[in-house]
Amino acid sequence: MTDKCTLTTAEIEVAVITDYIAQQSLEAEHQFVFSYTITISNHSQETVQLLSRYWLITDANGDTNVVTGEGVVGQQPFIRSNESFTYTSGCLLKSPLGNMQGHYQMQSSNGQLIQVDIPVFRLAKPNILN
């Protein structure tokens, strides 16, 4: 089961698709593994570079984890006007339900710094909400 959401900030669209990875999860040990694939589409007239990321990860127990760092998946990609960059990463939760939210720090080719919001997205084991 996948879940998808999008959000646009300053003509930069962030689309997220999530998935539960059952074969890597160990439910008896409270380890629930999720993947998320993010596509960043640049609808502006300027080239932008993704400099850093900020994540706030919350599980169903109310536990939070903040993740910050340069770039994504070891890259600080340049995204030209009307082009996109896609990457996949993962998250380990102690519960079968949680969410992630955050933002990217980007810089346009004219030197302007832009905070691009990432939509809040749910991480959920299939049928957990039924």
More confident of the two residues 10 and 4: 10
Q: What is the pLDDT of residue 70?
A: 96
Residue 125 belongs to a domain: no
pLDDT digits (tens, 9 = 90+) for 29-83: 999 999 999 999 999 999 999 999 999 999 999 999 999 999 999 999 999 999 9
Count of C-beta atoms within a 10 Å radius of residue 1: 10
Residue 116 belongs to a domain: yes
Cα–Cα distance between 10 and 39 in angstroms, integer?
A: 16
Cα–Cα distance between 1 and 37 in angstroms, integer?
A: 13
Q: What is the pLDDT of residue 1?
A: 45
Residue 110 belongs to a domain: yes
Residue 74 belongs to a domain: yes
- Cβ contacts of 5 within 8 Å, gap of 6 or more: 15, 16, 119, 120, 121
Q: What angle do CA 119, 125, 126 make, to 5 degrees?
A: 105
Q: What is the pLDDT of residue 36?
A: 96
Residue 127 belongs to a domain: no
DSSP assignment letter at 75: B
Question: For residue 71, what are its two tokens?
Answer: 């770039």
CATH number for the domain that contains residue 108: 2.60.40.1470
Q: What is the domain extent for residue 96? A: 2-120
Residue 54 belongs to a domain: yes
Residue 130 belongs to a domain: no
Number of domains present in the structure of the chain: 1
Residue 99 belongs to a domain: yes
